[in-house]
Amino acid sequence: MIKGKVWKYKDNINTDIIAPPASLELSTEEAARYTMAPVDPDFASGFKPGDIFVAEHNLGSGSSRENAPLMLRQLGVRTIVAMDYARIFFRNCINVGILTIECPETDKISKDDVLEIDYLGGMIYNRTTGEEYRCNRIPEHVMGIIRCGGLIEYLKQEKLPGRR
């Protein structure tokens, strides 16, 4: 189970909003200060590890660069819930160790709500409103990648030849 406070966004949060192009020449650590700045200048300074990033439709469209998920991860984002994602962004998030959950009812979730997510059982519990929402169940192999902190670490720890 995952429990955290919500940072909520609407439709079409693209990679240029998450990772503004002017920040791309900076190191990931420096660039993270500008994460979400075009729509929420307080995000980078206010997001706390354990908080949950929630959006509605079409999260992460735009560039296929990993900068956007890397900047989110640098700030402590470990869980994202959205109605649907641009597929490359979805995969890039998993590859850097961010859990991506699909839920068709994120429009019912508000900023500062507290969610409890049963990612294996496929349920989200809104502890602020008392509502419950169905979400996708996360396959065990994907959770293995998330638990390791991303695909590269997963491959190092779990899948290298000669390892037992």
- The 10s digit of each residue's pLDDT in 75-95 is 999 999 999 999 999 999 999
pLDDT in tens, 36-73: 999 999 999 999 999 999 999 999 999 888 999 999 99
What does the block give as tokens for 46? 């206010």
Q: pTM of the full predicted structure?
A: 0.93
pLDDT tens profile 66-75: 999 999 999 9
Radius of gyration of the chain (CA): 15
The DSSP secondary structure of 24-77, one letter per residue, reads: TTS-HHHHGGGTTTTT-TTHHHH--TT-EEE--SSBT-S---SHHHHHHHHTT-
CATH superfamily of 2-138: Aconitase, domain 4 (3.20.19.10)
| Res. 160: pLDDT tops 90 | no
Per-residue pLDDT averaged across 6-11, rounded?
A: 98
Asked if 70 contacts 90 with a C-beta cutoff of 8 angstroms, the reply is no
List the domain boundaries for the chain.
2-138
